[in-house]
Amino acid sequence: MKILGVDIGGSGIKGAPVDTEKGELAAGRHRISTPQPATPEAVANVVAEIVRYFEWQGPIGCTFPAVIKDGVAYSAANVDDAWVGVNGQELLVYKTNCPVLLLNDADAAGIAEMEFGAGKGHSGVVIVLTFGTGIGSAIFVNGHLLPNTEFGHMEVRGKDAEHRAADRIRKDEDLSWEEWAERVNEFLNRMELLFSPDLFIIGGGVSKKHTKYLHLLKTRAKIVPAQMRNEAGIIGAALAAKVLAPLPEAKS
């Protein structure tokens, strides 16, 4: 089964058809810079452009950097505040003329990792953390997702954790890998205190550099790099949108 996955980010919006049986892209991804300001209308128009690029007709899974409940955005991270309270799912259905499932971006990445990546086959409590512009999170208990956790906004030393330990902060403050890992460890220790996870999966853009810092992270739980890399959001969104696909007709 092929479903179009779209990943909306603060700097780029990218999409591709996904083979949901194999957990891989079925075509090269198409990327368009996120419009500024990233208002609902402007972002929805870009998603529609991606749909037209692939001449797509069918279910679409779409990620968004916010708390999403029943298609409605309850926050807005790295996009325009005008998104808060908007039913983005209905807007995208209108713009694309396709069935759409809208979900939190880190939740989508977590779904991909659990089904086809570093979390495949793992039971217990698994926490997926994406370090990039901010810190995204997804938590799974025996394979079941608890949506919209947003652990990156947990307070650490008077700030959101992502304002101390996101990969963007490492770059902006020119932190060494050791200095950055110290901040990440403080965040991970807080997560362990609250949730006692069995496995941490570290994703986001920084995951491809895991040889530089993973050995510096100290947790009781096992800690591994994500495997799906920059395709995680697209693939996870498509996997989540399988619920929109029509059931195959029963053979007579």
Tokens of 66: 């916010």
Predicted confidence (pLDDT) per residue in 100-109, tens digit: 999 999 999 9
Averaged pLDDT of the chain: 95
Q: Which CATH number fits domain 2-104+233-244: 3.30.420.40, 3.30.60.50, 3.40.640.10, 3.30.470.10?
A: 3.30.420.40
Per-domain boundaries in the chain: 2-104+233-244, 118-227
Q: Does domain 118-227 have CATH number 3.30.420.40?
A: yes
Predicted confidence (pLDDT) per residue in 150-200, tens digit: 999 999 999 999 999 999 999 999 999 999 999 999 999 999 999 999 999
Matching CATH topology for 2-104+233-244 and 118-227?
yes
Q: What angle do CA 67, 152, 134 make, to 5 degrees?
A: 90
Separation between Cα atoms, residue 101 and residue 87, nearest integer Å: 11
Torsion of CA 46, 206, 2, 23, to 10 degrees: -170
Distance set, CA 54 to CA 23, 49, 78, 105, 168 (Å): 19, 9, 26, 22, 32
Instruction: Give yes or no for a cis peptide into 99 (omega within 30° of 0).
Output: no
State the chain's maximal CA–CA distance in angstroms: 65
DSSP 182-209: HHHHHHHHHHHHHH--SEEEEESGGGGG
**Confidence band of 249 (pLDDT split at 50, 70, 90):** low
Q: What is the pLDDT of residue 248?
A: 60
Predicted TM-score (pTM) of this structure: 0.93
Distance set, CA 241 to CA 32, 108, 144, 153, 186 (Å): 22, 10, 16, 27, 35
Residue spans of alpha helices (H) in 76-120: 88-96, 105-116
Q: Residues 236, 108: contact at Cβ < 8 Å?
A: yes
Q: Residues 202, 127: contact at Cβ < 8 Å?
A: no
